[in-house]
């Protein structure tokens, strides 16, 4: 067993992976993330750790690998990044913060099997010096016959080691950056980066110097506010705009908070969410559809047809993290109200400590449609404040409740997500129609 902070290689026959062996956590969920719903469990911040993706040109195949719950590494393949992705194997070892390199020659020395789906051997190749401390977030590269392992010192530095062989020693760690100034107030020191090469063999985020070591291109001895960059070969969809859920599939920007109950939602030129769970806890509710928060300052508006809600149902738009709040519709009997709910919390074991309380409520007539809006400031050095609003005509909005301060504690480092939800507090059977989601 190597020390928790030391990277080591493991991989094979043209495929190499950098990983760290870590002790098992004291507390684990009863099952892996992909199986947790079969046991009625949930696993917030207890699932995939720093996955890695690489392309194998000889077979025109993309490989994705990720360590799940500090227990096993899952490997998926696809013919294109858009998918579809298929699970190929499970390696009974955790490649934590892995960096996957698919070699471009016929080297025999390796650590993964020739198909890249099972482990053959592992070997420690580097021990982190005490004066550096922790190194993690390994990324693996090969250039001009040299193998490079690019590592992060959290949360203020980058180091790199290199060797002529993936299985041999890598020498001393070369400091790439440490405590480098940033042009963004409150943005922190640049770290946890990767190297990206283009078709014309240019490298971005890091530039290679003549001696073979990468160096940072600085601006006034600090991190520049902008750099020249390559344009993508195909257009990238913007993170802003209006999604009306066309067709029969969700777009790639959307992600479920749990494994979805496929019988409780449908996409058909609009999204219908049916209550999939009877609970008073939004963290335990199935089929909350989430999307990464938009910054540095953003306004997100949900248009919702709530005419299909059942007695006791709750539906709306949430800021979802370990400290959460939402604006939504509550049906109790024949009465409907717009509620602002805050104080929704979970502890560092991801167990709910409070389902929240109604901080403000306004009665609303059943006219079928409401617009719910969250305005959030996540700018570095900003207020971390969010306000919640609603409208009955889509143009005139009223704030409901006070200002909610978003948490920035490190242990839930994946950050806030917007969540569209519909759950039952009494019995299943209700539903809502999500007409559109607008990000600006």
Give the C-alpha separation, 285 to 208, whole Å. Answer: 49
d(CA 164, CA 183): 36
| Dist. CA 32–CA 259, nearest whole Å | 12
Instruction: Determine the pLDDT at residue 208.
Output: 41
The answer to whether the beta carbons of residues 274 and 264 sit under 8 Å apart is yes
Alpha carbon distance 296, 190 (integer Å): 17
How buried is 170 (Cβ within 10 angstroms: 0-12 exposed, 13-18 middle, 19+ buried)?
Answer: buried
pTM of the predicted protein model: 0.67
- 377, 351 Cβ separation under 8 angstroms: no
Nearest to 303 by CA among 108, 157, 136, 436: 436
Taking only the tens of pLDDT, the chain with its 440 residues reads 222 222 222 222 334 444 443 333 333 322 223 334 445 677 777 677 778 999 998 889 999 999 887 888 999 999 998 888 999 999 888 888 888 877 654 422 336 777 878 887 777 777 888 899 888 888 888 888 888 888 888 878 889 889 988 877 778 889 988 888 777 677 677 777 777 788 887 777 653 445 566 677 788 888 788 777 766 666 777 788 999 999 999 988 899 988 889 999 999 989 999 999 999 999 999 999 999 988 888 899 999 999 999 999 999 999 999 999 999 999 999 999 999 999 999 988 888 999 999 999 999 987 789 999 999 998 888 899 999 999 999 999 999 999 999 998 887 877 899 999 999 999 999 999 999 999 99
Q: How far apart, in whole angstroms, are the C-alpha atoms of residue 134 and residue 68?
A: 21
Delineate the domains of the chain, giving CATH numbers in brackets.
7-215 (2.115.10.20), 241-439 (2.60.120.200)
Q: What is the pLDDT of residue 88?
A: 94
398-436 burial code (b ≥16 CB/10 A, e <16): eebbeebebeeeeebeeebbbbbbbbbbeeeebbbbbbb
């Amino acid at each position: 067993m190597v020390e928790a902070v030391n990277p080591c290689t493991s991989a094979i026959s043209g495929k190499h992976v950098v990983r760290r062996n870590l002790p098992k956590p004291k507390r684990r969920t009863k099952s892996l993330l992909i199986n947790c719903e079969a046991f009625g469990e949930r696993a917030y911040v207890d699932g995939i750790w720093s996955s890695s993706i690489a392309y194998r040109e000889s077979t025109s195949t993309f490989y994705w690998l990720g360590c799940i719950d500090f227990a096993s590494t899952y490997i998926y393949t696809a013919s294109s990044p858009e998918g579809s992705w298929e699970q190929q194997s499970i390696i009974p070892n955790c490649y934590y913060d892995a960096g996957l390199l698919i070699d471009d020659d016929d080297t025999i020395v390796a650590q993964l099997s020739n198909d890249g789906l099972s482990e053959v051997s592992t070997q420690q190749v580097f021990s982190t010096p005490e004066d550096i401390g922790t190194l993690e977030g390994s990324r693996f590269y090969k250039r001009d016959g040299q193998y490079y392992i690019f590592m992060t010192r959290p949360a203020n530095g980058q180091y790199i080691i290199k060797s002529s062989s993936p299985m041999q020693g890598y020498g001393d760690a070369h400091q790439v950056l440490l405590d480098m100034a940033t042009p963004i107030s409150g943005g922190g020191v640049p770290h946890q980066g990767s190297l990206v090469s283009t078709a014309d063999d240019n490298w971005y985020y890091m530039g290679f110097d003549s001696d073979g070591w990468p160096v940072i291109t600085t601006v006034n001895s600090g991190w520049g506010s902008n750099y020249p960059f390559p344009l993508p070969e195909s257009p990238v969809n913007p993170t802003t705009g209006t999604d009306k859920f066309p067709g029969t599939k969700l777009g790639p920007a959307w992600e479920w908070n749990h494994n979805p109950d496929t019988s409780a939602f449908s996409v058909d030129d609009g999204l219908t969410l049916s209550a999939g769970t009877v609970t008073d806890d939004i963290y335990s509710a199935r089929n909350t559809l989430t999307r990464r928060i938009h910054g540095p300052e953003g306004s997100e508006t949900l248009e919702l047809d709530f005419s299909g809600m059942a007695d006791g149902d709750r539906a709306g738009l949430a800021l979802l993290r370990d400290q959460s709040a939402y604006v939504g519709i509550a049906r109790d009997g024949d009465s409907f109200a717009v509620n602002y709910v805050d104080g929704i919390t979970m502890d560092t074991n991801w167990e709910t400590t409070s389902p929240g309380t109604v901080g403000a409520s306004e009665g609303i007539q059943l006219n079928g449609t409401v617009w719910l809006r969250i305005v959030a400031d996540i700018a570095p050095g900003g207020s971390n404040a969010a306000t919640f609003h609603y409208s009955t005509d889509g143009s005139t909005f009223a704030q409901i409740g006070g200002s909610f301060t978003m948490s920035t504690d490190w242990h839930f480092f994946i950050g806030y997500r917007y969540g569209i939800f519909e759950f039952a507090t009494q019995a299943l059977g209700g539903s809502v129609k999500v007409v559109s989601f607008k990000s600006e």
